[in-house]
Structure 1
Amino acid sequence: MKVKIKKWTGVGTWSYKVDYDNCGICRQPFHGCCPYCKWPGETCPVVWGQCTHCFHIHCMAKWLKAQEPREQCPLCRQKWRYA
Structure 2
Amino acid sequence: MGTRPLSDGIFFTCALPSYTMLKEDEIYRSMISWHAVASWTWDAQDETCGICRMAFDGCCPDCKLPGDDCPLIWGSCNHAFHLHCILKWVNSQTSQAHCPMCRREWQFKE
Equivalent residue number for residue 102 of structure 2 = 76
CA drift of 1:38 comes to 1.8
Matched letter for residue 59 of structure 2: C
Q: Secondary structure at the match of 2:73?
A: strand
Match for 2:54 among 15, 24, 28?
Answer: 28
Matched letter for residue 45 of structure 2: D
Q: What are the ranges of 5 or more consecutive residues in structure 2 without an aligned counterpart?
A: 1-43
User: Larger C-alpha radius of gyration, 1 or 2?
Assistant: 2
TM, length-normalised to structure 2: 0.54
CA contact (8 A) 1:33 1:56 kept: no
Structure having greater relative contact order (Cα 8 Å, sep ≥ 6): 1
How many residue pairs are counted as aligned between the two chains?
65
CA drift of 1:27 comes to 0.3
Report the RMSD for the aligned CA atoms in angstroms.
Answer: 1.5
Q: Secondary structure at the match of 1:65?
A: helix
Q: What are the ranges of 5 or more consecutive residues in structure 1 without an aligned counterpart?
A: 1-17
Matched letter for residue 108 of structure 2: Y
TM, length-normalised to structure 1: 0.71
Give the distance between the partners of 1:47 and 1:22, measured in 2 at CA: 12
Equivalent residue number for residue 51 of structure 1 = 77
Tell me which protein shows more strand as a share of its residues: 2
1:43-70 deviation line (CA, Å, top 9, x unaligned): x111000101110010000001111322
